[in-house]
């Protein structure tokens, strides 16, 4: 069963755990970052980081160096280190401003796997790759610009800490080289390329219907790239060789609302989530293609039941919308006088909602859009993932194998 924690009444825009998962940093849809510690029964607020003056859009916590990086609509990023206060001796988080040199909002930030640098996406058609300059005691940025033409919405690092995937509002997912001389060692040859000077474009992949690319993710080996777009499609790309068409491109058409975020749980499985309010499970390979195989949310009846269900018809309804929910909702309102107003005795509404004394409740753990899904336990073969959402909830999900699911809605494009 998932662990559900109501951290806030406000939406949670982003979250990140520390290395031993004893603390979590979240953005409660404001200019603050709240750090909670688990006391054995619940999460207690320990620190509040207030250096930003506009909405904090993204957070990442380096597990080995214990440094937090945050970015915001105020066009700034800060690296936070835990130090002893010189007056009281108490442990406090001290910020260091990063010189991003951007003139639009910072939208997304991630540490590289080796934690020696981090990348910040922005609305300035720029990705700032930041490294620490020991001589000046400062974090400095080097810009990836071409061929970016719109806001960069998401990032993910390749396991080699050199390649960087980016999803943008022009409907294109790209893979860049973020190699910095003097910081990075020459990476091993891969299907993405061998000679990788900074800002080299190693791949460009357009979303099938031109939707914004909300989330990107490399597989644990780095030999596959997946991304989700606003056209309700998951795309998985397998590169072949430098400057060559990919070996295969698979697209999975989702039966419901778009996903915003995703993460691989193994080389052959990934979790994606978004406006449908539940983490969806996808499985596949370069040989067999990719399919949607269910949901981690057992409240919908689609995970752990072993029963296969048709596309768009997970048992118990899917999130806030499926193919018949809008029709059922309006039909119920017309024929039985059922509305979304709270009902003292409870009841049902549509295919994915229920009426309670507190109002309309979705048949999912999350009651609103999931904003972030991240690995929680395991490396390469993830056994748990964590999600946060607009409902203010933090949920930790066990990743179950062998989930029955759908086998339609997948296409293979060989180039």
**Confidence tier at 184 by pLDDT (50, 70, 90):** confident
**Pairwise CA distance, residues 94 & 79, whole Å:** 8
pLDDT tens track for 350-371: 445 655 545 578 899 999 999 9
- Structural domains of the chain, ranges and CATH numbers in brackets: 3-315+366-413 (2.130.10.10), 321-363 (no CATH)
Q: Which of 273, 249, 221, 217 is nearest to 411 (CA)?
A: 249
Read off the DSSP letter of residue 190: B
Pairing verdict, β 138-144 and 91-99:
parallel
Other C-beta atoms within 10 Å of 231: how many? 18
Q: Report which DSSP code applies to 279.
A: P
Flag whether pLDDT at 341 surpasses 50: no
Would the pLDDT of 396 be above 60? yes
Q: Which H/E stretch holds residue 334? A: helix 325-335
Question: How many other CB atoms are found less than 10 A from the CB of residue 272?
Answer: 27
Nearest partner of 210 among 244, 226, 233, 239, judged by Cα:
233
Per-residue pLDDT for 410 more than 80?
no
- Examine the pLDDT at 409 and tell me if it is beyond 80: no
pLDDT of residue 309: 34
pLDDT digits (tens, 9 = 90+) for 253-274: 999 899 999 999 999 999 999 9
Q: How much of the chain, in percent, has pLDDT values that exceed 70?
A: 82
Provide the pLDDT for residue 137. Answer: 83
């Amino acid at each position: 069963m998932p662990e559900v924690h109501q951290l806030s009444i406000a939406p949670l825009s982003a979250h990140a755990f520390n290395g031993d998962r004893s603390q979590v940093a979240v953005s409660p849809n404001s200019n603050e970052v709240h750090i909670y510690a688990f006391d054995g029964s619940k999460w207690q607020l320990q620190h509040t980081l207030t250096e930003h003056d506009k909405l904090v859009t993204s957070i990442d916590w380096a597990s080995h160096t214990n440094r937090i990086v945050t970015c915001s609509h105020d066009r700034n990023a800060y690296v936070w280190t835990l130090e002893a206060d010189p007056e009281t001796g108490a442990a406090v988080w001290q910020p260091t401003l990063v010189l991003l040199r951007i003139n639009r909002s910072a939208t997304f930030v991630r540490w590289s796997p080796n934690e020696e640098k981090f990348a910040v996406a922005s609305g300035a058609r720029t990705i700032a790759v930041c490294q620490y300059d020991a001589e000046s005691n400062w974090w400095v940025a080097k810009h990836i610009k071409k061929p970016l033409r719109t806001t960069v919405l998401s990032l993910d690092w390749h396991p080699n800490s050199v390649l960087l995937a980016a999803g943008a509002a022009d409907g294109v997912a790209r893979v860049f080289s973020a190699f910095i001389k003097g910081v990075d060692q020459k990476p091993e040859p891969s299907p993405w390329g061998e000679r990788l000077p900074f800002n080299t474009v190693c791949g460009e992949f357009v979303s099938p219907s031109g939707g914004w690319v909300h989330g990107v993710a490399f597989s644990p080996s780095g030999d596959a790239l997946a991304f989700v777009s606003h056209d309700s499609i998951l795309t998985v790309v397998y590169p072949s060789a430098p400057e060559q068409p990919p070996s295969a491109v698979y697209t999975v058409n989702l039966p419901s609302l778009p996903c915003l975020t995703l993460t691989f749980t193994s080389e052959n499985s990934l979790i994606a989530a978004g406006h449908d309010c539940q983490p969806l499970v996808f499985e596949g390979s370069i040989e067999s293609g990719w399919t949607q195989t269910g949901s981690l949310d057992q409240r919908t009846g689609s995970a752990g039941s072993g029963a296969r269900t048709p596309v768009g018809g997970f048992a118990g309804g899917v999130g806030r919308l499926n193919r018949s929910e809008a029709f059922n909702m309006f039909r119920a309102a017309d024929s039985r006088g059922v509305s979304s107003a709270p009902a003292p005795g409870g009841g049902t509404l549509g295919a994915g909602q229920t009426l309670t004394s507190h109002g309309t409740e979705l048949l999912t753990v999350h009651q609103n859009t999931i904003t972030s899904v991240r690995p929680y336990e395991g490396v390469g073969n993830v056994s748990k993932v964590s999600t946060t959402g607009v409902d203010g909830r933090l949920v930790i999900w066990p990743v179950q194998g062998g989930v029955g699911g759908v086998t339609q809605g997948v296409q293979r494009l060989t180039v």
